[in-house]
A = this chain, B = another copy of it.
Amino acid sequence: MKHLDGGLENVKGFSYSSIKCGIRYADRLDYSLILSDTMCNAAGVFTTNRMTAAPVKLCRERINGSIRGILVNATNANACTGAEGFTNSKILTADVAKRLNLAEESILMASTGIIGRQLPLDKMLESHGKLITNLSGENGPLLAQAIMTTDTVPKQAAVSFTCGGREYRIAGTAKGSGMIAPRMATLLAFLVTDAPVDRENLEKIFRAAVNKTLNSITIDGDTSTNDTAIILSPDTGKYIQDADSLSAFTEALEAVLMKLAEMLVQDGEGATKSVKIHVINAATDDDAMLIARAVGQSLLVKTAFFGNDPNWGRIACAAGYSGAALEEENLSISIENIPLLVNGIPAEADYSQLEKVLKNRNYTVTVDMGLGSGDAIMLTTDISYDYVKINAQYST
């Protein structure tokens, strides 16, 4: 497996278009189309929020069919928009499909932005001609930029891998820097591959890979209404199916997803830190995840990270209320191998060394439960003044 520069444009057989439609703001890329040259199998992982946006409902209806493309808009989530919002997403995908001479069910849709406003339907329909004209295999970076909301940098990743003597590629892009929680961790992620994988394997492998990557990051603990991760794989009828090939595909997919996940955390709203919470020796893997989430989401832990504050008591406290099994006399906590709590007893830490570590942008907190063999990792951010500022001013 080899990491490649850039993103979506690395995979042949797909084209992209992003334009300034003026959905909410006058002068920004906000409307995009991903189109495959051939019919694709698709797999999707969507928000677990019961308040689901119209485009998520649409994707759920269509994802198991033959897919050719994905329509994507930023700046308006088309969530809490009732029957009208759902109808709008159908009208938009139907119009694009018609212009391309495709079945309307072959186009998916994803939206991100403000909740509770109807899409400007006429304006968007009028732009479809231009949207299609602009399609090009080189426009991957433009799309990565067009789907951003409060993101400060576009996020893209690509790898190549070999199986059965052939080189394949997987590439992806993602956006999301607020409303990021560990159950479906990003607002939008789109992946394409030229590796043909049958629908059943694609679904299984994609879901597992998302769980290990996008679902292991948290910024503010809010699961959004619009979370959508979709992969498209050409439906050639001749699939890679032997165990070795699928395993190479899985490894490559996880690499792309993990790179995107890390980029999302690095660009978390207002974040000045990217901290890995590594829980080891918990009673079970589920317990380890409960602890990793409680620590990674604790406001007190996250503000301490921001303050470069070795306040490990807050980490112990969060582990304590996580719901997981905990024996105080077995609990140890360290930051970058500097022990702070050892079997329930505060350690004589080297605070000058610790101070240096805490000033870094990236470090690892290890929580050793001393109970079993369960482990879990959660990538989290700090909570800074800027997080508050960004989110106090977003809607109005």
Q: Pick the interface stretch among A15-23, A30-38, A339-347.
A: A339-347
Write the nearest CB–CB distance from A118 to chain B, whole angstroms: 8
Q: Say yes or no: B116 contacts A220, CB within 8 Å.
A: no
* A345 CB contacts on chain B under 8 angstroms: 82, 84
**Restricting to A306-331, which residues have a CB under 8 Å from any CB of B?**
306-314, 316-321, 325-326, 328-329, 331
Say whether A304 faces chain B, with CB atoms less than 8 Å apart. yes
Q: Say yes or no: B81 contacts A346, CB within 8 Å.
A: yes
* A346 CB contacts on chain B under 8 angstroms: 80-81, 116-118
* A118 CB contacts on chain B under 8 angstroms: 346
Q: Which of A300, A308, A321, A340 has the most CB of B within 10 A?
A: A321
Contact of A320 among B50, B81, B395 (CB under 8 A): B50
Interface residues as binary, A370-396 with B (CB distance below 8 Å gives 1, 0 otherwise): 000000000000011101110111111
Write the nearest CB–CB distance from A65 to chain B, whole angstroms: 24
The binding surface of chain A is classed by DSSP as loop
**Restricting to A110-163, which residues have a CB under 8 Å from any CB of B?**
114-118
Write the nearest CB–CB distance from A121 to chain B, whole angstroms: 15
Interface residues as binary, A47-58 with B (CB distance below 8 Å gives 1, 0 otherwise): 011111000000
Q: Say yes or no: A313 contacts B77, CB within 8 Å.
A: yes
Q: Say yes or no: B222 contacts A307, CB within 8 Å.
A: no
Say whether A223 faces chain B, with CB atoms less than 8 Å apart. yes
Say whether A298 faces chain B, with CB atoms less than 8 Å apart. yes
Task: Identify the closest chain B residue to A355 (Cβ).
Answer: B396
Given contacts A52-B320, A116-B313, contact A385 B394 (CB under 8 A): no
Write the nearest CB–CB distance from A85 to chain B, whole angstroms: 9
A residues with CB within 8 A of B: 48-52, 77, 79-82, 84, 114-118, 178-179, 181, 183, 220-225, 298-300, 303-304, 306-314, 316-321, 325-326, 328-329, 331, 340-341, 344-346, 383-385, 387-389, 391-396
